[in-house]
Amino acid sequence: MRFYHNPRCSKSRQALALLEERGVEVNVIRYLETGVDEADLPIIAQLEHVVRKKEAGPEAMTSINGPEDVMALLRSNPRALERPILIVDGQAVIGRPPENVLSLLKRE
């Protein structure tokens, strides 16, 4: 499990706390420092509303016509990534609201 985290974001902190409370171990990726992992880009690019419009800017938003454009934008501007994002077994979810991250946990 990989968790794309911005520690300055309250929703990101809340989602991480929810996972920790349940004893879920995640690989925390501080994407603002490291960028988005290349292997995760195709998974993330399939999510609706994964680009933060304000961070991307209007010019970039008008040039997005599909997942390839989303991946290119996130490579060059990781700040435009909506957060937090949890990736589990090739599936991803945006943690807005934070409880959304729980949807990818296996129910036992």
How far apart CA 64 and CA 71 sit, in angstroms, is 10
* DSSP strand pairing (27-29 vs 85-88): unpaired
Residue 108: per-residue pLDDT:
41
The total number of structural domains in the chain stands at 1
The parent domain of residue 75 ranges over 2-104
Q: Does the structure show a pLDDT above 80 at 72? A: yes
pLDDT of 12 over the 80 cut: yes
Active site residues: 9
* Mean pLDDT of all residues in 61-66: 95
What mean pLDDT, rounded, does the chain reach?
Answer: 96
The position carrying tokens 């060059």 is 76
* Residue 64: CATH number of its domain: 3.40.30.10
Average the pLDDT over 42-63 and give the result.
96
Which alpha helices (DSSP H) does 22-52 contain, by range? 31-34, 41-44
pTM equals 0.94
Task: Report whether pLDDT(107) > 80.
Answer: no
